[in-house]
Amino acid sequence: MIKKVKSELLKSLESKKINVFVLFLLLSFMILIFTKLSKQYTNTITFSINKVNVPKEIVILNDSSTVLNLTLKTHGFRWLNYYISKPEIEIDFASDAYKRDSVFIWSKSKAYLNNTQFDKNVELLNMSPDTLRFRYDVNLVRKVPVKLNADIDFTPGYNVATAFRLMPDSVQIIGPHTLVSNIGFLETEPLSLTEVRTDISKSIKLKLPVNHNELKFSNAEVILKGKVEKFTEGTLKIPVDIINIPDQIKLKYFPKTVNVTYYVSLSNFSEIKPKDFKVSCDYNKIIDNQTFLIPELKKMSELVKSAKINQQHIEFIITE
Protein backbone atom coordinates (compact mmCIF):
# COMPACT_ATOMS: atom_id res chain seq x y z
CA MET A 1 0.00 0.00 0.00
CA ILE A 2 2.85 2.41 0.95
CA LYS A 3 4.68 1.59 -2.31
CA LYS A 4 1.57 2.35 -4.34
CA VAL A 5 1.10 5.73 -2.65
CA LYS A 6 4.77 6.56 -3.19
CA SER A 7 4.49 5.63 -6.88
CA GLU A 8 1.43 7.82 -7.39
CA LEU A 9 3.16 10.73 -5.64
CA LEU A 10 6.21 10.47 -7.92
CA LYS A 11 4.00 10.42 -11.01
CA SER A 12 2.18 13.51 -9.79
CA LEU A 13 5.44 15.39 -9.21
CA GLU A 14 6.76 14.42 -12.64
CA SER A 15 3.50 15.59 -14.27
CA LYS A 16 3.71 18.94 -12.48
CA LYS A 17 7.30 19.35 -13.65
CA ILE A 18 6.19 18.79 -17.25
CA ASN A 19 3.33 21.31 -16.91
CA VAL A 20 5.66 23.91 -15.41
CA PHE A 21 8.12 23.34 -18.27
CA VAL A 22 5.40 23.79 -20.90
CA LEU A 23 4.18 26.95 -19.16
CA PHE A 24 7.66 28.46 -19.07
CA LEU A 25 8.15 27.48 -22.73
CA LEU A 26 4.94 29.27 -23.73
CA LEU A 27 5.85 32.35 -21.68
CA SER A 28 9.29 32.47 -23.28
CA PHE A 29 7.77 32.22 -26.75
CA MET A 30 5.27 35.01 -25.98
CA ILE A 31 8.02 37.26 -24.63
CA LEU A 32 10.07 36.60 -27.75
CA ILE A 33 7.12 37.44 -30.03
CA PHE A 34 6.30 40.57 -28.03
CA THR A 35 9.94 41.69 -28.22
CA LYS A 36 10.03 41.15 -31.97
CA LEU A 37 6.75 42.99 -32.55
CA SER A 38 7.86 45.92 -30.41
CA LYS A 39 10.81 46.64 -32.70
CA GLN A 40 10.73 49.03 -35.66
CA TYR A 41 10.75 47.55 -39.16
CA THR A 42 10.93 49.05 -42.63
CA ASN A 43 9.04 47.40 -45.45
CA THR A 44 7.06 48.13 -48.63
CA ILE A 45 3.41 47.17 -48.80
CA THR A 46 0.64 47.67 -51.38
CA PHE A 47 -2.33 49.83 -50.34
CA SER A 48 -5.63 49.66 -52.21
CA ILE A 49 -7.68 52.82 -52.82
CA ASN A 50 -10.88 53.67 -50.97
CA LYS A 51 -12.71 56.21 -53.18
CA VAL A 52 -15.03 58.63 -51.36
CA ASN A 53 -17.22 61.57 -52.44
CA VAL A 54 -17.27 60.54 -56.10
CA PRO A 55 -19.80 62.75 -57.99
CA LYS A 56 -23.12 60.92 -58.47
CA GLU A 57 -23.13 61.32 -62.23
CA ILE A 58 -19.62 59.83 -62.46
CA VAL A 59 -18.51 56.23 -62.06
CA ILE A 60 -14.86 55.42 -61.54
CA LEU A 61 -13.88 52.40 -63.62
CA ASN A 62 -12.16 49.64 -61.71
CA ASP A 63 -8.51 49.32 -62.56
CA SER A 64 -6.20 46.87 -60.79
CA SER A 65 -3.25 49.19 -61.45
CA THR A 66 -4.59 52.02 -59.25
CA VAL A 67 -2.76 51.06 -56.07
CA LEU A 68 -0.05 52.69 -54.00
CA ASN A 69 3.15 50.93 -52.99
CA LEU A 70 4.22 52.56 -49.73
CA THR A 71 7.47 52.07 -47.86
CA LEU A 72 6.75 52.47 -44.14
CA LYS A 73 8.73 52.40 -40.93
CA THR A 74 6.70 51.28 -37.94
CA HIS A 75 6.62 48.71 -35.14
CA GLY A 76 5.79 45.05 -35.68
CA PHE A 77 2.31 45.29 -34.14
CA ARG A 78 1.24 47.70 -36.86
CA TRP A 79 2.81 45.50 -39.54
CA LEU A 80 0.90 42.52 -38.15
CA ASN A 81 -2.34 44.52 -38.48
CA TYR A 82 -1.51 45.43 -42.10
CA TYR A 83 -0.92 41.80 -43.01
CA ILE A 84 -4.13 40.62 -41.33
CA SER A 85 -6.46 43.23 -42.86
CA LYS A 86 -5.91 44.68 -46.33
CA PRO A 87 -4.66 48.26 -45.91
CA GLU A 88 -6.33 51.16 -47.73
CA ILE A 89 -5.61 54.76 -48.56
CA GLU A 90 -8.66 57.03 -48.65
CA ILE A 91 -8.91 59.44 -51.56
CA ASP A 92 -11.53 62.17 -51.39
CA PHE A 93 -12.63 63.00 -54.95
CA ALA A 94 -14.18 66.27 -53.76
CA SER A 95 -10.91 67.72 -52.46
CA ASP A 96 -7.94 65.48 -53.29
CA ALA A 97 -8.51 64.74 -57.00
CA TYR A 98 -9.16 66.90 -60.05
CA LYS A 99 -10.58 66.12 -63.47
CA ARG A 100 -8.49 66.53 -66.60
CA ASP A 101 -9.44 65.27 -70.05
CA SER A 102 -10.93 61.79 -69.49
CA VAL A 103 -9.39 60.99 -66.09
CA PHE A 104 -9.33 62.08 -62.47
CA ILE A 105 -5.82 62.81 -61.21
CA TRP A 106 -4.53 62.43 -57.67
CA SER A 107 -1.07 63.76 -56.90
CA LYS A 108 0.04 64.32 -53.32
CA SER A 109 3.34 64.62 -51.50
CA LYS A 110 4.71 62.14 -48.99
CA ALA A 111 4.34 64.76 -46.25
CA TYR A 112 0.65 65.27 -47.04
CA LEU A 113 -0.03 61.55 -47.07
CA ASN A 114 1.97 61.03 -43.87
CA ASN A 115 0.01 63.74 -42.04
CA THR A 116 -3.46 62.75 -43.23
CA GLN A 117 -3.40 58.96 -43.47
CA PHE A 118 -1.03 57.75 -40.72
CA ASP A 119 -0.53 58.41 -37.02
CA LYS A 120 2.74 59.36 -35.30
CA ASN A 121 3.76 55.70 -34.93
CA VAL A 122 4.04 55.29 -38.71
CA GLU A 123 6.62 57.04 -40.87
CA LEU A 124 6.13 57.14 -44.65
CA LEU A 125 9.53 56.86 -46.35
CA ASN A 126 8.54 56.43 -50.00
CA MET A 127 5.53 56.00 -52.26
CA SER A 128 5.15 54.72 -55.79
CA PRO A 129 3.68 56.02 -58.00
CA ASP A 130 3.41 59.65 -56.88
CA THR A 131 0.44 60.21 -59.22
CA LEU A 132 -2.69 58.13 -59.75
CA ARG A 133 -5.02 58.40 -62.75
CA PHE A 134 -8.60 57.14 -62.49
CA ARG A 135 -10.56 56.44 -65.65
CA TYR A 136 -14.22 57.34 -65.40
CA ASP A 137 -17.42 57.20 -67.38
CA VAL A 138 -20.79 58.93 -67.22
CA ASN A 139 -23.56 56.88 -65.64
CA LEU A 140 -26.35 55.54 -67.85
CA VAL A 141 -29.75 54.51 -66.50
CA ARG A 142 -31.45 51.74 -68.48
CA LYS A 143 -34.39 49.41 -67.89
CA VAL A 144 -34.02 45.91 -69.34
CA PRO A 145 -36.41 42.92 -69.36
CA VAL A 146 -35.85 39.79 -67.29
CA LYS A 147 -35.88 36.44 -69.09
CA LEU A 148 -36.83 33.25 -67.25
CA ASN A 149 -34.42 30.34 -67.48
CA ALA A 150 -36.43 27.45 -66.10
CA ASP A 151 -37.13 23.77 -66.70
CA ILE A 152 -40.48 22.99 -65.05
CA ASP A 153 -42.19 19.60 -65.28
CA PHE A 154 -45.73 19.14 -63.99
CA THR A 155 -47.45 16.13 -62.51
CA PRO A 156 -49.48 14.46 -65.29
CA GLY A 157 -52.84 16.24 -65.61
CA TYR A 158 -51.52 19.54 -64.19
CA ASN A 159 -50.14 22.66 -65.84
CA VAL A 160 -49.80 26.39 -65.37
CA ALA A 161 -53.17 28.08 -65.99
CA THR A 162 -51.78 31.35 -67.37
CA ALA A 163 -48.36 32.53 -68.47
CA PHE A 164 -45.67 32.64 -65.79
CA ARG A 165 -45.19 36.06 -64.21
CA LEU A 166 -41.88 37.55 -63.08
CA MET A 167 -42.07 40.21 -60.38
CA PRO A 168 -40.57 42.55 -61.38
CA ASP A 169 -40.40 41.70 -65.08
CA SER A 170 -37.70 44.32 -65.74
CA VAL A 171 -34.70 45.71 -63.86
CA GLN A 172 -33.15 49.17 -63.84
CA ILE A 173 -29.38 49.25 -64.33
CA ILE A 174 -27.16 52.22 -63.48
CA GLY A 175 -23.53 52.29 -64.54
CA PRO A 176 -20.96 53.32 -67.13
CA HIS A 177 -22.47 53.95 -70.55
CA THR A 178 -19.97 51.58 -72.19
CA LEU A 179 -21.14 48.71 -69.99
CA VAL A 180 -24.87 49.37 -69.59
CA SER A 181 -25.49 50.01 -73.30
CA ASN A 182 -24.38 46.45 -74.11
CA ILE A 183 -26.94 44.80 -71.80
CA GLY A 184 -30.17 43.94 -73.63
CA PHE A 185 -31.72 41.76 -70.94
CA LEU A 186 -30.96 39.90 -67.71
CA GLU A 187 -31.52 36.17 -67.35
CA THR A 188 -32.46 34.37 -64.15
CA GLU A 189 -30.27 31.71 -62.65
CA PRO A 190 -31.41 28.25 -63.85
CA LEU A 191 -34.48 26.88 -62.04
CA SER A 192 -35.53 23.23 -62.20
CA LEU A 193 -38.80 21.93 -60.74
CA THR A 194 -40.36 18.49 -61.10
CA GLU A 195 -43.72 16.92 -60.29
CA VAL A 196 -45.34 20.34 -59.80
CA ARG A 197 -49.04 20.31 -58.90
CA THR A 198 -49.46 23.40 -56.70
CA ASP A 199 -49.11 27.13 -57.34
CA ILE A 200 -45.53 28.34 -57.87
CA SER A 201 -43.96 31.20 -55.92
CA LYS A 202 -40.17 31.09 -56.10
CA SER A 203 -37.47 33.69 -55.53
CA ILE A 204 -34.80 33.43 -58.23
CA LYS A 205 -31.49 35.26 -58.34
CA LEU A 206 -30.50 37.12 -61.49
CA LYS A 207 -27.45 36.09 -63.49
CA LEU A 208 -25.48 39.33 -63.26
CA PRO A 209 -22.79 40.33 -65.80
CA VAL A 210 -19.16 39.45 -65.07
CA ASN A 211 -18.31 43.12 -64.43
CA HIS A 212 -21.35 43.72 -62.20
CA ASN A 213 -19.26 45.36 -59.45
CA GLU A 214 -19.25 48.55 -61.53
CA LEU A 215 -23.03 48.46 -61.97
CA LYS A 216 -26.04 49.06 -59.74
CA PHE A 217 -29.22 47.00 -60.14
CA SER A 218 -32.67 47.88 -58.83
CA ASN A 219 -33.14 44.16 -58.08
CA ALA A 220 -30.75 41.27 -57.66
CA GLU A 221 -33.53 38.68 -57.69
CA VAL A 222 -37.11 38.29 -58.92
CA ILE A 223 -40.13 36.24 -57.86
CA LEU A 224 -41.62 33.68 -60.22
CA LYS A 225 -45.40 33.33 -59.92
CA GLY A 226 -47.53 30.68 -61.58
CA LYS A 227 -51.08 29.46 -60.94
CA VAL A 228 -51.16 25.68 -61.34
CA GLU A 229 -54.43 23.86 -62.02
CA LYS A 230 -55.68 20.47 -63.06
CA PHE A 231 -56.03 20.23 -66.83
CA THR A 232 -58.16 18.11 -69.11
CA GLU A 233 -58.65 17.52 -72.84
CA GLY A 234 -61.70 18.47 -74.86
CA THR A 235 -62.70 18.00 -78.50
CA LEU A 236 -64.93 20.19 -80.67
CA LYS A 237 -66.05 20.03 -84.31
CA ILE A 238 -64.91 23.18 -86.10
CA PRO A 239 -66.01 24.20 -89.64
CA VAL A 240 -63.29 24.44 -92.29
CA ASP A 241 -62.97 27.65 -94.31
CA ILE A 242 -61.16 27.71 -97.70
CA ILE A 243 -59.44 31.02 -98.54
CA ASN A 244 -57.79 32.50 -101.65
CA ILE A 245 -59.86 30.48 -104.15
CA PRO A 246 -59.48 32.07 -107.62
CA ASP A 247 -62.69 33.60 -108.98
CA GLN A 248 -62.75 31.29 -112.00
CA ILE A 249 -62.56 28.14 -109.86
CA LYS A 250 -65.24 26.35 -107.92
CA LEU A 251 -64.41 23.40 -105.77
CA LYS A 252 -65.93 20.91 -103.42
CA TYR A 253 -64.08 19.68 -100.37
CA PHE A 254 -64.47 17.08 -97.71
CA PRO A 255 -64.76 16.98 -94.73
CA LYS A 256 -66.51 20.26 -94.04
CA THR A 257 -65.60 20.09 -90.35
CA VAL A 258 -62.61 18.80 -88.41
CA ASN A 259 -62.13 17.73 -84.82
CA VAL A 260 -59.93 20.06 -82.77
CA THR A 261 -58.56 18.65 -79.53
CA TYR A 262 -57.55 21.22 -76.93
CA TYR A 263 -55.92 21.21 -73.50
CA VAL A 264 -57.53 23.47 -70.92
CA SER A 265 -57.79 23.87 -67.15
CA LEU A 266 -60.69 22.09 -65.53
CA SER A 267 -62.07 25.38 -64.20
CA ASN A 268 -62.25 26.87 -67.73
CA PHE A 269 -63.50 23.76 -69.53
CA SER A 270 -67.12 24.94 -69.72
CA GLU A 271 -66.03 28.32 -71.13
CA ILE A 272 -64.66 26.87 -74.38
CA LYS A 273 -66.99 27.14 -77.41
CA PRO A 274 -66.63 26.30 -81.14
CA LYS A 275 -66.56 30.02 -81.97
CA ASP A 276 -63.26 30.28 -80.07
CA PHE A 277 -61.53 28.37 -82.88
CA LYS A 278 -60.98 29.03 -86.56
CA VAL A 279 -59.65 26.49 -89.08
CA SER A 280 -58.84 27.43 -92.67
CA CYS A 281 -57.08 26.06 -95.77
CA ASP A 282 -55.13 28.32 -98.09
CA TYR A 283 -55.64 27.46 -101.77
CA ASN A 284 -52.45 29.36 -102.66
CA LYS A 285 -50.39 26.79 -100.75
CA ILE A 286 -51.26 23.94 -103.14
CA ILE A 287 -48.08 22.47 -104.61
CA ASP A 288 -48.04 21.11 -108.23
CA ASN A 289 -50.90 18.60 -108.75
CA GLN A 290 -51.69 18.23 -105.08
CA THR A 291 -55.26 16.99 -104.53
CA PHE A 292 -55.68 17.95 -100.91
CA LEU A 293 -55.53 21.04 -98.72
CA ILE A 294 -53.80 21.30 -95.36
CA PRO A 295 -55.97 22.68 -92.54
CA GLU A 296 -54.38 25.26 -90.24
CA LEU A 297 -55.52 26.45 -86.84
CA LYS A 298 -55.77 30.23 -87.23
CA LYS A 299 -57.48 31.06 -83.94
CA MET A 300 -57.97 29.53 -80.51
CA SER A 301 -59.17 30.71 -77.12
CA GLU A 302 -56.68 32.44 -74.85
CA LEU A 303 -57.84 30.06 -72.09
CA VAL A 304 -56.52 27.08 -74.04
CA LYS A 305 -52.99 25.90 -73.28
CA SER A 306 -52.58 24.02 -76.59
CA ALA A 307 -54.72 22.68 -79.43
CA LYS A 308 -54.32 20.50 -82.51
CA ILE A 309 -56.34 19.52 -85.58
CA ASN A 310 -56.96 15.78 -85.80
CA GLN A 311 -57.56 15.87 -89.58
CA GLN A 312 -54.34 16.38 -91.59
CA HIS A 313 -55.79 16.60 -95.12
CA ILE A 314 -58.91 18.11 -96.67
CA GLU A 315 -59.71 16.45 -99.99
CA PHE A 316 -61.05 18.61 -102.82
CA ILE A 317 -62.13 18.48 -106.44
CA ILE A 318 -62.47 21.34 -108.90
CA THR A 319 -65.94 21.43 -110.46
CA GLU A 320 -65.34 24.27 -112.95
Q: What is the mean pLDDT of the chain?
A: 83
Alpha helices in 85-213 (DSSP H): 110-117, 177-180
Residue 288 dihedral angles phi and psi, to the nearest 5°: 50, -125
pLDDT > 80? residue 18: no
Q: What is the CATH number assigned to the segment(s) 230-318? A: 2.170.120.30
101: left (phi over 0), alpha (psi -120 to 50) or beta: left
Same fold, 40-129 and 230-318: yes
Q: What percent of the chain has pLDDT over 90?
A: 42
**pLDDT given at position 16:** 56
Q: How confident is the model at residue 14 (pLDDT cuts 50, 70, 90)?
A: low
List residues bridging with 145 in a β-sheet. Answer: 170
- Topology at the third CATH level for domain 40-129: RNA Polymerase Alpha Subunit; Chain A, domain 2 (2.170.120)
Within 10 angstroms of residue 236's Cβ, the number of other Cβ atoms is 17
CATH class, range 138-226: mainly beta
pLDDT > 80? residue 8: no
**pLDDT given at position 19:** 62
Domain ranges for the chain, please list them.
Answer: 40-129, 138-226, 230-318
pLDDT tens by residue, 39-57: 677 778 888 888 888 887 7
**Residues 178, 179, 183: CA angle, nearest 5 degrees:** 120
Distances (CA, A) of 254 to 8, 251, 280, 313: 112, 10, 13, 9
pLDDT tens by residue, 273-283: 999 999 999 99
pLDDT > 90? residue 77: no
CA–CA dist 34, 302 (Å, integer)? 79
CA–CA dist 56, 78 (Å, integer)? 35
Q: How confident is the model at residue 144 (pLDDT cuts 50, 70, 90)?
A: very high
pLDDT > 70? residue 128: yes
